[in-house]
């Protein structure tokens, strides 16, 4: 959860400092720790559990959204990129949805283990 929340900070810093990001990697949902788990051990163990398919979908959408912001930053359109990560943006909405689904799956997996 913390790592996914940190993306907004990373994107804002890239805008502020006019950095270039690896948008192709950011778009991939199988490169971060959660994605490695989803597409690896977690997927093998939990793929049929409630909420897991939603987690996979929302996580992929999050990375696509973050990648789109990164591409906008790389194009030098910093004002547009700022708008793409503001509180009412698609990025912020999907980010919140990912956190909620993670919490749901985390709760479901904890209950299944007890």
pLDDT tens, position by position, for the chain (114 residues)? Answer: 888 889 999 999 999 999 999 999 999 999 999 999 999 998 998 888 888 999 999 999 999 999 999 999 999 999 999 999 999 999 999 999 999 998 988 887 676 665
Q: For residues 84 and 88, give the distance between their C-alpha atoms in angstroms, rounded to a whole number.
A: 9
CA dihedral 21, 74, 68, 16 (to 10 degrees): 80
Q: For residues 62 and 99, give the distance between their C-alpha atoms in angstroms, rounded to a whole number.
A: 10
Question: What count of other Cβ atoms lies within 10 Å of the Cβ of residue 102?
Answer: 17
């Amino acid at each position: 959860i913390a790592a996914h929340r940190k993306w907004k900070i990373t994107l804002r810093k890239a805008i502020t400092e006019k950095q270039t990001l690896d948008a192709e990697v950011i778009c991939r949902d199988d490169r971060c720790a959660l994605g490695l788990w989803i597409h690896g051990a977690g997927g093998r163990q939990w793929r049929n559990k409630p909420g897991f398919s939603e987690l996979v979908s929302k996580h992929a959408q999050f990375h696509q959204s973050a990648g789109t912001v990164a591409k906008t930053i790389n194009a030098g359109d910093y004002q547009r990129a700022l708008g793409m990560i503001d509180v009412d943006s698609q990025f912020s909405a999907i980010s919140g949805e990912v956190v909620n689904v993670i919490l749901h799956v985390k709760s479901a997996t904890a209950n299944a283990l007890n």
